[in-house]
Amino acid sequence: MKNFEFPHRRRNPLSGEWVLVSPHRNNRPWKGAVEHHSDPDLPSFKQDCPLCPKVERANGEANPDYANTFVFNNDFAALLPDSEEITSAEDDLMQAESAQGCARVVCFSPRHDKTLPELTLHELTQVVSTWKSQYQELSQDYACVQIFENKGEMMGCSQPHPHGQIWAHHHLSTEVEREDVHQAGYYLQHGRPLLADYIERELDQQSRIVEQNENWLAVVPFWAAWPFEILLVARAEVADFTQLNQVQERDLAAILKNITTRYDNLFRCRFPYSMGWHNAPATGQDNRHWRLHAHFYPPLLRSATIKKHMVGYEMLAESQRDLSAEKAAELLRQVSLTHYKEKHDE
């Protein structure tokens, strides 16, 4: 498929939503807001950081002197296992239902100053193994396990110590339920998983690929809404984290390091994003239509200080982008895989 340089729409087959693409607008002069940018020189340990080793948290508990990843129940959890039972399904206008679950924090390492691309491959593999073990445990009790990271103040991250979160609950989240429906519909029609066919299409066209290895593929998806959005997909028949073997875990760590390094090097900053994993629902259903994947949604548009705002048309009509997915992938491929801080240290 050729790269259109005129306004057109692209459909996201996972969600059914459309995005308006206007590549001719990308060269317009910028007179909008410019975000504050700083690349702080953080210490490796901070005495008052509630995520650092041996520091006391808000609930009065002290973190252990951990050396690798560390997981604890969020002291300000958005979900509780014993929430009151409610239902108002009979009300067509004001429906509500109980939301029970748990929320955990995953400290990627004891270092207060090291984000994912700055960790060693061994340390990143430990992060992946932690995601897997947490999913294995929580999926025994909860249908939906959301593993995610908000990186940077721009994405609302309240603690600079690099960390992610895990929210698990009985209900299927809106995004997972929507993807489940669309993948199941595609499988019923074609007899193959949607993302398996999409991987083949991307490997054939090559223009949107950012990174790949034997077990994983990272692309700026054809339907991307955010400027440098990335879809990271398992190439094998893997529906959730429980099915990953050790080689797939190591390859995942390797491609995560490359993706996040490219992000940081693009504008030479701690590139902000929201990233999260979509596992098949843990409901006991047939999940042959599923493929484990992650979404990266970064807000930056032209520099470390200019972000994409989802406002106006995007809020009232549908997503819109100026930079084409193909151009975004090209820009990410062009940057170095040596982190800019390593170059600076040399």
Output the six-digit token pair for 242: 């429980």
The answer to whether 237 and 118 have CB atoms below 8 angstroms apart is no
Please identify which of the residues 112, 163, 278, 289 carries the catalytic annotation: 163
- Please report the pLDDT score of residue 38 as a whole number: 58
Report percent pLDDT > 70 for the chain.
94
> What kind of architecture, by CATH, is found in domain 8-26+33-345?
2-Layer Sandwich (3.30)
What's the pTM value of the predicted model, to 2 decimals?
Answer: 0.94
- Please report the pLDDT score of residue 30 as a whole number: 41
Mean pLDDT across the chain, nearest whole number?
92
Which sequence spans correspond to the domains of the chain? 8-26+33-345
Bigger pLDDT: 207 vs 87: 207
Give the number of C-alpha atoms closer than 13 A to the C-alpha of residue 212, restricted to the C-beta side: 15
Q: What is the pLDDT of residues 298-342, one digit of tens each?
A: 999 888 888 888 999 999 999 999 999 999 999 999 999 999 998
Bigger pLDDT: 156 vs 307: 307
Helices 194-205 & 174-190, crossing angle to 10 degrees?
80
Q: Is 278 a catalytic residue?
A: no
Q: Mean pLDDT, to the nearest integer, of 181-199?
A: 98
Q: Mean pLDDT, to the nearest integer, of 263-280?
A: 95
Q: Is the pLDDT of residue 345 over 50?
A: no
Residue with structure tokens 């991250």?
157
The answer to whether 179 and 163 have CB atoms below 8 angstroms apart is no
Q: What is the pLDDT of residues 210-266, one digit of tens each?
A: 999 999 999 999 999 999 999 999 999 999 999 999 999 999 999 999 999 999 999
Residue type, 42: L
Cβ neighbours for 74, distance < 8 A, ≥ 6 positions apart: 103, 104, 105, 165
Q: Is the pLDDT of residue 130 over 60?
A: yes
Report percent pLDDT > 90 for the chain.
80
Q: Mean pLDDT, to the nearest integer, of 163-188?
A: 98
DSSP 241-263: GGG--HHHHHHHHHHHHHHHHHH
Q: In what order do the strands lie in the sheet with 144-151?
A: 70-73, 101-107, 163-169, 144-151, 273-278, 293-297, 230-234, 216-219, 209-212
Least confident of 121-125, 162-166, 201-205, 321-325: 321-325
- Please report the pLDDT score of residue 91 as a whole number: 85
pLDDT band at 152 (very low <50, low <70, confident <90, very high): confident
- Please report the pLDDT score of residue 153 as a whole number: 81
- Please report the pLDDT score of residue 36 as a whole number: 52
- Please report the pLDDT score of residue 87 as a whole number: 76
Helix (H) or strand (E) holding 183: helix 174-190
Bigger pLDDT: 34 vs 227: 227
CB atoms within 10 A of CB 53: 18
Q: Is the pLDDT of residue 287 over 50?
A: yes
| Among 104, 124, 103, 132, CA closest to 240 | 132
Q: Mean pLDDT, to the nearest integer, of 181-209?
A: 98
